Structure 1
Amino acid sequence: MSGQRVVVIGGGVIGLSIAYHLAEAGGDVTLLERGTLGSGASRATADVVRSYFAGNPVSSALAVRSLDAYRAFPARPGMDLPLRQVGYLVLFTEPGQVSAFEADLPAQHAAGVDVGLIEAEEARKLNPLVGDVPLLAAAYSPDAYISDTTAIVTAYARAAEREGAALRTGCAVTAIDPEAGRVRTAEGEIAADAIVCAAGAWSASLVRCAGVDLPLTEPIEQELLTTDPLPPTTPDIPVTLHAGSGLLVRLRGDRLLIGMGYPGPDREAWRREVADRLAEVYPSLAATRLHTAVTGLRDASPDRTAFIGHRPGPPAFLYATGFSGHGLCNAPAAGELVRDLYLGRDPGMDVTSLAVSPRRRG
């Protein structure tokens, strides 16, 4: 693809991974970001990379492939990343949750995920903060790491620039004309042999310009909370999800980082609900105060699985969006798949399940 000009729209971790992989393959890559790099969904993550996504073996397969790439970062693209292995624990308090896990397990193993069912006693040993909830069993996957999203964004940006990509920030895309291979910005038009939409929450209108009907939901505002400093005797724990409520916690320094779904219009009511669930599952933390840690807009798909696909050219149009909070865990694989789709290479996995289809429109 030497000499072919590719414009990537979106400077989050997905867009930067794509820019790096295309530039490494010889493309003349320009990335356009409306704000600063990593200023969208990439700034509202829990800094966790993991491979197990319950009930979603497609996302799990992308995450397994991506985790391999993160581990190999010192060799390619040649940069160190913080990766502290902590494991991922899912607490089951209802029989139906256990049954659903067991039904999903063969597909997860086929996707390459290391996950299994453990007894309640073992789960409490892994996370001693869990209180006297009616714990039946738990899922445990050792392949979960605390990383640093900003470090990953920076690493991909530097790697992409080293391969010759141009990264333009503060440059919002106003429209695209894939038929003519033109990308319009407030600063003028850019000609392209291929256009890649990786604009996250701002993708919907751009993919419509290309005649691709992706059933993206409205952008969702994510909020993560944090506690006051915890006692120095607080044990290290896995990233832990309470399946019944969606309460997700992990240690970040001397505090707990907390997520639980999305705030919705009544943010105060949501925060009270988070506090109630935290006190229920972790009673020793019932008196701790909660504070906003970070907020940001997320793209979302109806089935919480990314849309990755292409419309062959020339000029070509490709898309990678709708990651539904899985972007950090899926980014390396997304970059590889977009590169392979554009170059006509074997992507090494069935990408038809990621493209838009009548089934995925629901």
Structure 2
Amino acid sequence: MSAHPTRTDTLVIGGGVIGTSIACHLAEAGVGTVLLERGTIGSGSSAATAGVVRTYFPGSPLTGSLAVRSLAAYHSFADRTGTPLGLERVGFLVLFTEERQVEDFRREHAAQRAARVKVELVTAAEAARLNPLLDERSVLAAAWSPEAYACDPAAIVRGYAAAAQEAGAVLLTDTPVTGIDPDGRVRTPTGDILAESVVCAAGPWSTAVAALGDVHLPVSADPIELLLTDPPDTPPATLPMTLHADSGLRIRAWRDRVLVGMGRPGPDESRQAWLGRLSRLLGTVYPALDGIRVHRGWSGALEASPDGGALIGRHPSRPFFYAAGFSGQGLCQAPAAGEIVRDLLAGKQPWTDPAGLSADRFPAVAPSLR
């Protein structure tokens, strides 16, 4: 752990993929940067992902534009940080079971293309060819996006953290924030740090961290669980990340097994009932997995904004910045988020209009940001 400074230009709170990206972008721009992480680097929600970066997000071309820019950065990540990511193209398949889903896709397709997202509508037969586990009779059509890659999320965090330190940033682990004063003084159990600007990138804990500075961010923290099946009798050679649009059921290959996710139990649903519901749907959509045993994989907290889109912006009257609420998609947007925060801090216009990312888009929340 680095020595504890008493002053800095910018203090970043949160050592996940978003916080380390921001710290790296700031330090490389010559900004004095300190990052505080309450645990170890990458130990929060960044450690509980399906390990896929993609560019297609149904219903959100804006998210897609951030992901497209981020994917380009990941392709050059090893050159920039010295950390290889081992990107493996797997593709992303979204299964449609209702006509309205197909119509929604067609309605927003032009906007997705304008965001440079590569995605097309395919038939049920084509979807079954792309995912050989799929029963084509269970779907009407599907969206296919080839630009999705399996990766090592921990390597991304490590790479950004190392590059940030190489550029002069100070990273302090096991250092929770206990207070944020109006003058930018950030309090920790090991001493205070006076910062000209503070950036909240604390993932699921962003609401609590921002509240320490009397700022309200509408970020909820919900538990999420990923499961692993037993090895199928005939493991597929390739398997795209596949989303069942109606239920949220997701699968992808994980070594000789299948990684499965479907959110979490409902408010009045037991975990056992949720597992039963998941298993029944899994067997219906993917007959080769009917009756297969599923086991705990890993779990974590999912940060979410009210509309599922990222919150990136600044307090209107003081230098408090935020990058949170990525709704499980932070890995796909981290490089672009780091760029945007860097430019906002410098008073520059980012590469995209940040208005659509600001918490001000929620009128009920905006007054508490002022």
| TM-score, normalized by the shorter chain, greater than 0.5 | yes
Instruction: Tell whether 2:321 aligns with 1:318.
Output: yes
1:131 to 126, 135, 143: 135
SS state of the match for residue 171, structure 1? Answer: coil
Which letter maps to 1:278?
L
SS in 2 for 1:352: helix
- Show the counterpart of 2:368: none
Residue 47 (structure 2) pairs with residue 43 (structure 1):
yes
Structure 1: 5+ residue stretches without partners: none
Query: Secondary structure of the residue that 1:257 maps to in structure 2?
Result: strand
In structure 2, the CA distance between the partners of 1:132 and 1:75, relative to structure 1 (3 Å rule), is closer
Question: What is the SS of the residue equivalent to 1:191?
Answer: strand
Give the structure 1 partner of residue 265 of structure 2.
263
Alignment of 1:17 with 2:21, yes or no, is yes
In 2, are the aligned partners of 1:236 and 1:251 still within 8 Å (CA)?
yes
What CA distance in whole angstroms lies between the structure 2 residues aligned with 1:201 and 1:233? Answer: 35
Matches within 5 A, 1:131-170: 131-170=135-174
Aligned residue type for 2:187? R
Cα shift at 1:4: 5.3
Over the matched positions of the two proteins, sequence identity in percent amounts to 52
TM-score (norm 1): 0.94
| Contact 2:93-2:240 at 8 Å conserved across structures | yes
TM-score by length of 2: 0.92
Q: Which residue of 1 aligns with 2:75?
A: 71
Match of 1:201 among 199, 204, 207: 204
User: Which residue is 1:221 aligned to?
Assistant: 223
Letter in 1 for 2:245: A
Match of 2:332 in 1: 329
Number of aligned residues? 357
Q: Secondary structure at the match of 2:331?
A: helix
Cα distance in structure 1, aligned partners of 2:20 and 2:94: 31
Kindly indicate whether the alpha-carbon contact (under 8 Å) linking 2:179 and 2:213 is maintained by their aligned counterparts in 1: no
* Residues 361 and 107 of structure 1: CA distance in aligned 2, closer, same or farther (over 3 Å): farther
Equivalence for 1:174: 178
Equivalent position amino acid for 1:64 in 2:
V
CA distance in 2, matches of 1:20, 1:318: 16
Q: Structure 1 residues 225-234 or 181-190, which shifts more?
A: 225-234
Q: Give the letter aligned to residue 257 of structure 1.
A: L
Is the contact between residue 19 and residue 29 of structure 1 (CA under 8 Å) also seen in structure 2? yes
Could you tell me how far 1:333 is from its partner in structure 2? 0.6
Structure 2 Cα separation of the partners of residues 264 and 305 of structure 1: 22
Change beyond 3 A, Cα 1:65–1:153:
same
Write the distance in 1 (CA, Å) between the matches of 2:363 and 2:17. Answer: 24
Choose from 291, 296, 303 the match for 2:307.
303
Displacement after TM superposition at 1:354 (Å): 0.4
Structure 1's 4 and 40: CA in aligned 2 closer, same or farther, altered over 3 A?
closer
Tell me, in whole angstroms, the C-alpha distance in 1 between the residues paired with 2:114 and 2:274. 37
Q: Does 1:27 align with 2:27?
A: no
Instruction: Give the AA of the match of 1:87.
Output: G
SS of alignment partner, residue 26 of structure 2: helix
Q: Distance in 2 between matches of 1:173 and 1:12?
A: 15
Is 1:280 matched with 2:278?
no
Alignment RMSD: 1.7
Does the 8 Å CA contact 1:133/1:280 hold for their aligned counterparts?
A: no
Q: Are 1:242 and 2:241 counterparts? A: no
Change in Cα spacing, 1:88 to 1:15, as seen in structure 2 (3 Å) is same
**TM-aligned CA deviation for residue 134 of structure 1:** 3.3
Q: Tell me, yes or no, if the aligned pair for 1:40 and 1:298 is still in contact at 8 Å.
A: no
1:120 to 103, 121, 124: 124
- In 2, the alpha carbon distance for the partners of 1:321 and 1:226 equals 28
Q: Any unmatched runs of 5+ in structure 2?
A: 1-6, 366-370
Q: Which amino acid in structure 1 is aligned with residue 104 of structure 2?
A: A
